[in-house]
């Protein structure tokens, strides 16, 4: 029977979403923190993940690991946190506070066995692109929920024969969960500046050297230009990956590529395109066109 002892009802904002404010997070006993400003939070049954504000992603992952006593092994690759499937028993329930009540998420609901064979596991936690929480299916697992659109409420009651508990009341913790430091301008734009530097060097220094060595581009020396340009591109990549990136603490180029990152193939293509912009296909074509125009003009005289 559902009543005030077996169910808790949360009030939500009267807007376009099932939205509220996240007051705190708890990683385990003795690991609970208030979240500064109680960020805007959307409950979304259509999402498979817990999406957190980008500057809270790293602290939340570290909090989950610290609650295991620091024993759980993990690695973050391209925004996904991988954990050892054989260590799932170490993880503690993850709890979010709304209206001074904690909703509990068991490890089996926020750790995903990708192939179902215990070979690769990930946390169902991602960094959001925006400064709010978007909480998907993990926060609904093991609960019976009632969405009341008229009153803008969601009621939570634990399912029978599960480990879920009725959301319980607790004071907001005194200790804040600190956000990660935002990326510096150099971290945001350093790769662009390095690429611009390589392009400028190729255009204004390396290409004139080639002209001095081999003369203007022609069919006779085309191979020299292609091999020389290719060597310069490879040299730039080597300098970037093994010298500039570690020395200047630049963010890594994504070899597979995403919407927000340059990848190695694109990096080389940009340099090569800029390098050959002054040479053969363009220059030779323009020279041929000028020669044809000159001959036509002479024939009219």
H-helix or E-strand spanning residue 112: strand 111-113
Pairing assessment for the beta strands 121-123 and 50-52 based on DSSP bridges: unpaired
Using 50, 70 and 90 to split pLDDT, how confident is the model at 163? confident
Look at 162 and 22; give whichever has higher pLDDT: 22
| pLDDT reading at 296 higher than 80 | no
H-helix or E-strand spanning residue 291: helix 280-300
- What's the start-to-end Cα distance of the chain, in Å? 105
Which tens digit of pLDDT belongs to each residue from 194-236? 889 999 999 899 999 998 999 888 888 889 988 998 999 999 9
The residues spanned by each domain of the chain are 8-169, 185-300
Across the chain, mean pLDDT equals 86
| pLDDT reading at 77 higher than 70 | yes
Which tens digit of pLDDT belongs to each residue from 132-149? 999 999 999 999 999 999
Cα distances (Å, whole numbers) of residue 272 to 220, 253, 265, 277, 280: 20, 17, 10, 8, 13
Among residues of the chain, what percentage have pLDDT more than 90? 60
Which CATH number, 2.40.70.10, 3.20.20.70, 4.10.80.400, 3.40.50.300, labels domain 8-169?
Answer: 2.40.70.10
Q: What is the pLDDT of residue 72?
A: 95
Residues 6+ apart with CB under 8 A from 91: 64, 67, 68, 72, 83, 107, 111
| pLDDT reading at 76 higher than 80 | yes
H-helix or E-strand spanning residue 275: helix 264-276
Q: What is the pLDDT of residue 94?
A: 97
Residues 6+ apart with CB under 8 A from 146: 7, 153, 154, 155, 157
Look at 187 and 258; give whichever has higher pLDDT: 187
pTM: 0.69
Place of tokens 């220059």: 283
Residue 275: both structure tokens together:
């390098």
Look at 211 and 292; give whichever has higher pLDDT: 211
Which tens digit of pLDDT belongs to each residue from 237-283? 899 888 988 888 887 665 444 444 444 555 556 555 655 555 544 45
Range in 6-15, 92-101, 217-226 the model is least confident about: 217-226
Residues 6+ apart with CB under 8 A from 225: 210, 214, 217, 276, 279, 280
Instruction: Determine the Cα–Cα distance for residues 301 and 298; give it in Å rounded to an integer.
Output: 5
Q: What is the pLDDT of residue 272?
A: 58
């Amino acid at each position: 029977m559902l009543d005030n002892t077996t169910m808790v009802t949360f009030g939500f904002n009267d807007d376009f979403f099932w939205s509220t404010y996240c007051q705190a997070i708890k990683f385990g006993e003795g690991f609970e923190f208030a979240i500064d400003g109680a960020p805007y939070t959307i409950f979304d049954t259509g999402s498979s993940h817990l999406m957190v504000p980008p500057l809270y992603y790293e602290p939340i992952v570290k909090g989950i690991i610290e609650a295991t006593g620091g024993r759980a092994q993990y690695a973050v690759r391209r925004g996904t946190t991988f954990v050892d499937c054989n260590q799932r028993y170490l993880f503690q329930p993850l709890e979010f506070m709304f209206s001074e009540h904690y909703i509990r998420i068991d490890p089996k609901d926020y750790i995903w066995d990708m192939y179902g064979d215990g070979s690769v596991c990930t946390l169902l936690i991602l960094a959001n692109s925006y400064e709010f929480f978007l909480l998907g299916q993990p926060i609904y697992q093991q609960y019976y929920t009632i969405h009341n659109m008229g009153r803008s409420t969601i009621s939570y009651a634990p399912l029978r024969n599960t480990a879920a508990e009725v959301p319980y009341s607790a004071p907001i913790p005194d200790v804040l969960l600190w956000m990660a430091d935002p990326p510096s301008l150099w971290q945001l734009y350093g790769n662009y500046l390095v690429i611009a530097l390589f392009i400028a060097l190729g255009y204004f220094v390396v290409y004139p050297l080639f002209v001095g060595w081999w003369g203007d581009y022609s069919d006779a020396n085309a191979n020299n230009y292609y091999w020389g340009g290719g060597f310069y591109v490879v040299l730039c990549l080597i300098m970037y990956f093994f010298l500039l990136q570690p020395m200047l603490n630049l963010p890594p180029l994504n070899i597979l590529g995403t919407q927000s990152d340059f990848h190695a193939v694109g990096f080389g293509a940009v340099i090569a395109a800029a390098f050959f912009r002054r040479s053969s296909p363009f220059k030779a074509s323009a020279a041929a066109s000028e020669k044809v125009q000159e001959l036509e003009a002479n024939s009219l005289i």
